[in-house]
Structure 1
Amino acid sequence: MNKKKTYFQMKKKAENKGEIYIYGDIVSNKWDDTDVTAVDFKKELDQLDNVSEIDVHINSAGGNVFEGHAIYNMLKMHKAKVNIYVDALAASIASVIAMSGDTIFMHKNSLMMIHNSWVMTIGNSKDLRETAELLDKTDQSSNSAYLDKATNLSENELKQMLEAETWLTADEALEKGLADEILGASEIAASISNDIYQTFKHVPENIEKDVDKITNVESIKETVETPKNTMSPEEKEEREQIIKECKSLKTIYNF
């Protein structure tokens, strides 16, 4: 019996072909087994050795902008042919990672969401101006990734889509040049955590909201293994307290 796939996993699918699953939030500090960091990504990518082709499966609501840009650049610079599969959702910075693909496949019931990056911050007027300038720079990097892929998409149209927080169906992404091919319907359901749901403005009604999971485990239980809870009750309580304190202090978040 084949070993079930975890939420974040890389392996050799064949002698010259690698397989990557990004089924969780993109973060700088890993809290859960579902989380993906650029450091972990690089370690796993290096272990694929000299593969000539990589299949990347994405079902993620996004997360940290800088970590996502690092992952995008790693895939973009890799000598292998990169095939991106949007299994259910590629939102926010996960949609930028998707742009690293030489070919981007979307299932006909999958979604892609693009928007301008945002932060929650604290400080004086100088600090806020510096933060605004930083946001402009991160948006410029993300915009370059979209425009490099979607050569028929004008910069002005992209800007309008980003400002509006645009949720694209597979057909719409194909029309805009943000996808190359549409596959049959996927059994994997798009789902986002409650925290991330609250950061988005126009989440479609058909996307599931759940506090504790990113993907609909029931719909993919034959292929994706539910990560084990490795945190003790004390660690979980401490994590929740840190999150509450960060929100109350308006600490920087990137999505």
Structure 2
Amino acid sequence: MGKDFVINLQLFADNPPAGTPKRIWELKQAAQPNTLDMYIYGDVKGDYFDWWEWERVESETSANHFRNELAKYPDAKQINIYINSYGGSVFEGTAIYSQLRRHPAEKVVYIDGFACSVASVIAMAGDRVIMPKNTMMMIHDAMNVAVGNARQLRKAADDLDVIMEGNRQAYLEKSNGKMEEGKLIELLEAETWLTAQQCIEYGFADELLEKEADLTEAKQMLQQMNKTLEQQLNYNKAIVAQFRELGKKPVQKVLPKDPEPPKQNKPKNLMAALFR
């Protein structure tokens, strides 16, 4: 049951319900010379195993894929990064942030809707972060799913603490002194939504646009995210309910049956059988 449960969750993650907005992850040459346009619209996730094809697939939103794509443009002088994402894998997102920080090109980040979770970390790689006044960021502590004994679970918690130390540095470096670490920890622990104006005040953004962004796709994405989360929760509840029902059923002992008497073949001639 446990193995099937893990496989079903993976299938659910790799094959989202119908109606989920198509992920847009693209890095392409812009109209200006030596300028790249990078779009992060949707989830950030690493490579995964395709259970249907029984093969490992390189995710288009993985740090490995981004590195390979970025290497195709060695002469890039500016990278425009457009973000409308509710986040995803902290490992992939943090690696993408580091790659952007190391790149010598000027990075200009445009928040087109939401920059949530690790997508906000990626945004911190921008030399300039531009936000229309109706866009938002959401920051929170990293989360993970852990299974194991007490020692392994304690290690998982310690690993998350180390990961958050690194992530906090991304926000602190971008804020350039406008944000104290104690206040940042408070905001992260509270899973805080930040307006564009607040991002300017905290140093997470550099320019506020009066013109509002078209949030149609952003709202649809957030609604679908909530719907998908609800479906996952219902799925988990159904699994838990099945386990509880199994625990309630009494164990019935199977008693050996009395041996049945050997079957006798009925004679075809009933009258003849009377005289035997």
Measured against the shorter chain, the TM-score band is 0.7 to 0.9
CA distance in 1, matches of 2:95, 2:28: 20
Note closer, same or farther for the CA distance 1:119–1:212 as it changes in structure 2 (3 Å cut).
closer
From 66, 74, 80, the equivalent of 2:105 is 80
From 79, 82, 95, the equivalent of 1:54 is 79
Q: Do residues 186 (structure 1) and 239 (structure 2) align? A: no
The answer for unaligned runs of 5 or more in structure 2 is 1-22, 51-56, 241-276
Give matches, 1:119-158, under 5 Å: 119-150=144-175, 151-158=177-184
Q: Give the letter for the 1:17 counterpart.
A: T
CA distance in 2, matches of 1:191, 1:128: 36
CA distance in 1, matches of 2:77, 2:215: 27
TM-score between the two structures when normalised by the length of structure 1: 0.72
Note closer, same or farther for the CA distance 1:186–1:130 as it changes in structure 2 (3 Å cut).
same
Detail structure 1 runs of 4+ shifted over 2 Å in the superposition: 29-35, 188-193, 211-214
From 39, 45, 56, the equivalent of 2:70 is 45
From 122, 126, 129, the equivalent of 1:101 is 126
Larger radius of gyration: 2
CA contact (8 A) 2:60 2:66 kept: no
CA distance in 1, matches of 2:172, 2:111: 19
CA distance in 1, matches of 2:86, 2:186: 21
CA distance in 1, matches of 2:116, 2:128: 18
Deviations 1:55-105 (CA, angstroms, capped at 9, x unpaired)? 000011011111011100110000100001111010000000000000011
Note closer, same or farther for the CA distance 1:62–1:54 as it changes in structure 2 (3 Å cut).
same
CA contact (8 A) 2:45 2:92 kept: yes
Q: Give the letter for the 1:11 counterpart.
A: K
Q: Do residues 11 (structure 1) and 28 (structure 2) align? A: yes
Note closer, same or farther for the CA distance 1:45–1:159 as it changes in structure 2 (3 Å cut).
same
TM-score between the two structures when normalised by the length of structure 2: 0.67
Deviations 1:3-45 (CA, angstroms, capped at 9, x unpaired)? xxx8111111121211100111110126899961112111211
Partner of 1:92: 117
Q: Give the letter for the 2:29 counterpart.
A: K
Q: Do residues 24 (structure 1) and 50 (structure 2) align? A: no
CA contact (8 A) 1:86 1:110 kept: yes
Partner of 2:261: none
Partner of 2:187: 161
Note closer, same or farther for the CA distance 1:172–1:76 as it changes in structure 2 (3 Å cut).
same
Note closer, same or farther for the CA distance 1:172–1:72 as it changes in structure 2 (3 Å cut).
same
Pairs aligned (count)? 203
Give matches, 1:179-218, under 5 Å: 179-183=205-209, 184-189=211-216, 190-191=218-219, 208-210=222-224
